[in-house]
A and B are shown apart, each in its own frame.
Chain A
Amino acid sequence: MTESRLTDAQRVVVTGLGATTPLGGDVATTWAAMLAGQSGVKVLTEDWVETLPVHIGAPVAVDPSEVLPRPLIKRSDRSGQFAIIAAREAWADAGAPELEPERIGVVIASGIGGVTTLLDAYDTLKERGARRVLPMTVPMLMPNGPAALVGLELVARAGVHTPVSACSSGAEAIAYAVDMIRTGRADIVAAGGTEAAIHPLPLAGFAAMQALSTRNDEPERASRPYDKGRDGFVLGEGAGVLVLETLEHALARGATIYGEIAGAGITSDAHHMAQPDPVGAGATRAMGMALRAAGATASDVVHINAHATSTPVGDVAEAEAIRNALGDAVNGVCVSGTKSMTGHLLGAAGAVETIATLLALRDRKAPATTNLEDPDDDVHLDVVRGEPRALPDGELLALNNSFGFGGHNVALAVRSV
């Protein structure tokens, strides 16, 4: 393993994790379900479902109304509710650090923002007039709403930010948080992503792009990255939040350290609004940048939590990008596509999957990609199937990939401790 070139005051580590996902209402439940190969995908029961070509989705396992007080539910978009749940868990997990509010930052990304609030309020406007549109509508629908809610919750005054880069938003938030800490703007940052877009309009839009699986009769088998039978992603919802600080800061306060965000690479394709670059050039560069930032080389990588959404084009393009980024070293790397179980959490995906990457390194277990029954001949990767794969002892490096419509590519290099 190549040594980090950074000092303890520059290395950024993770000391708290929080999540609410289709697999569980917290990190422990989500991770246990992931290792067990469970699915969070189901047939949606809302009455509008029959009007759409897609009848399946991956709603959160624990509805926010079960864990948050009613006034907060009424005053926040569902995406804000998820963010609060995940941030509370992460902050408590980090030991509820006590420091000046001016040194606490928040970066909570979203791909789409408060879309259900916006669309429901528009229904109210059309059906019942302007007087019935509630005054909290705008604060609830704005994409920075969840970040601001978490900022209020943690009393964070070092800056509250919301990167928006579609399905790479959550990973970009973590990269931004690392920069905030390294440039001295904050000592601790709660960073991640949230998304709550299971509503007929986003579903209809994604379906119109032919981006969604229509395997309506077999919901649990619908998300199948790298499988020949894959036919699109499954729309999920949820949030993931990580607490980040320098290694020096974490050691000084005796915090439990999950691992290090050793490097980040962010690039853009400038190729097409929604199609990935067919050879994944931007994705390849992002992975290379993340490794260089980590002071590592391709041969250090043991595991990749891939973007792997289960779309026919995207999975192959990413596989090609991974091979190009790692060269011959790809043969020693096991790849997991955890969206096979969670569905695609859009702006939360990068955060939830970074949590999965950290836990895979901690527990030395890479989760299996479920539903991979007939591997695509064009995917030349060692994809974990069947059972979780044991990872070796010692200091390990992994990558987490996230890509988004608009040509956004984010790779995070995660190092075990």
Chain B
Amino acid sequence: MAASEQEILAGLAEIVNEETGIDTGDVQPEKSFTDDLDIDSLSMMTIVVNAEEKFGVRIPDDDVKGLSTVGDAVSYIAKASA
């Protein structure tokens, strides 16, 4: 069964925290990865690779560019794993 968006958000927050040390509570849907969370492109790619692993989805590099907020990523993963 596919994970709910709430579960995806919690899982993504854990991955972001592991990589950057950002508090899981700060990883909210409206937050921008670059502008709000100050995540650089290398960390972003690490987060993507770990998210692919965790949620069993594939996020092509071209699609990563479209994921500007945490919410974008949660929706993308939800759709991809549905």
Residues of A within 8 A of B (CB): 69-71, 74-75, 131-132, 134-136, 139
Contacts and interface: CB of A to CB of B under 8 A. Distances in A.
Contacts of B45: 134-135
Interface string B2-13: 000000000000
A131 B52 contact: yes
A134 B44 CA distance: 11
B42 A69 contact: no
9 contacts: A70-B18, A71-B20, A75-B43, A132-B49, A134-B46, A135-B42, A135-B49, A136-B46, A139-B42
Interface in B12-27: 18-21
B63 interface: no
Contacts of B46: 134-136
A69 B19 CA distance: 10
Contacts of B21: 69-71
B62 interface: no
A136 B42 contact: yes
A74 B19 CA distance: 7
A183 to B, nearest CB: 35
Nearest to B50: A134
The secondary-structure label for the interface of chain A is helix
Contacts of B53: 132
A131 B45 CA distance: 10
A417 to B, nearest CB: 41
A11 B65 CA distance: 54
Interface string B28-58: 0000000000000011011001001100000
Nearest to A69: B21
B49 A134 contact: yes
A138 to B, nearest CB: 10
A244 B18 CA distance: 36
B18 A74 contact: yes
A131 B58 CA distance: 10
A165 B41 CA distance: 34
Contacts of B49: 131-132, 134-135
A71 B19 contact: yes
B51 to A, nearest CB: 12
B74 to A, nearest CB: 21
Given A71-B19, A74-B19, 13 more contacts: A69-B21, A70-B21, A74-B18, A75-B19, A131-B49, A132-B49, A134-B45, A134-B46, A134-B49, A135-B42, A135-B45, A135-B46, A139-B42
Nearest to B45: A135
Contacts of A134: 45-46, 49
A64 B54 CA distance: 26
Contacts of A135: 42, 45-46, 49
Closest 8 CB pairs of A and B: A71-B21, A135-B45, A135-B42, A134-B46, A71-B20, A135-B46, A69-B21, A136-B42
A134 B49 CA distance: 7
A132 B19 CA distance: 15
Nearest to A132: B49
Contacts of A74: 18-19
A131 B52 CA distance: 10
Contacts of B42: 135-136, 139
